[in-house]
Amino acid sequence: MSRKIEKTDAEWRAQLSPTQYEVARQKGTERAFTGEYWNFWENGEYRCICCGTPLFDSEHKFDAGCGWPSFWTAAAPENVDEAEDRSHFMHRTEVLCRKCGAHLGHVFEDGPAPTGLRYCINSASIRFDPQRSSGGDD
Ligand SMILES: [Zn+2]
């Protein structure tokens, strides 16, 4: 059920745009205020750009003013992995898709209630879907 998805770099490169590949597979970061979703407020869910796994929901999205889509929780915490990231002389917590290992962004502890968390996610790593797959509870 939770079988991992593994593809070669060449396969990912063929599937993704250059920006998506750079961010999701090479742990890149899109420039602030350039992504598709930082100022996007439609109602729906956000899936992994690589494998389609539901990760975040518009219900948890908030305007952090940082130029990246921000969520105060993952919609499906079981689909999200966290890892220590000590690159760039910082100590951060990286957020990844558990299913395919895509780099999504980072989580910080300066978000709003009730979690106090801010999942700062690259637009390039996610794909908006107005149809919630889990759905049925509104
Ligand atoms: Zn994925």
The rounded distance, in Å, linking the Cα atoms of 56 and 70 is 10
The rounded distance, in Å, linking the Cα atoms of 16 and 125 is 10
Q: How far does the centroid of ligand 1 lie from the alpha carbon of residue 26, in Å?
A: 14
Average pLDDT estimate for 75-101: 95
Residue 26 lies in a domain: yes
CATH number at residue 120: 2.170.150.20
Select which of 50, 97, 100, 120 is catalytic: 120
**Per-residue confidence (pLDDT) for residue 133, from 0 to 100:** 82
Average pLDDT estimate for 77-81: 95
**Per-residue confidence (pLDDT) for residue 44, from 0 to 100:** 97
Structural domains in the chain (count):
1
Q: How far does the centroid of ligand 1 lie from the alpha carbon of residue 52, in Å?
A: 6
Q: How far does the centroid of ligand 1 lie from the alpha carbon of residue 114, in Å?
A: 26
* 2-57 per-position pLDDT tens digit: 578 999 999 999 999 999 999 999 999 999 999 999 999 999 999 999 999 999 99
Is the pLDDT confidence value at 83 over 80?
yes
Q: How far does the centroid of ligand 1 lie from the alpha carbon of residue 29, in Å?
A: 17
Average pLDDT estimate for 70-74: 98
**Per-residue confidence (pLDDT) for residue 2, from 0 to 100:** 58
**Per-residue confidence (pLDDT) for residue 136, from 0 to 100:** 46
Domain, as residue range, for 120: 9-129
Residue 138 lies in a domain: no
Q: Which helix (H) or strand (E) covers residue 56, if one does?
A: strand 54-57
Is-catalytic flag, 66? Answer: no
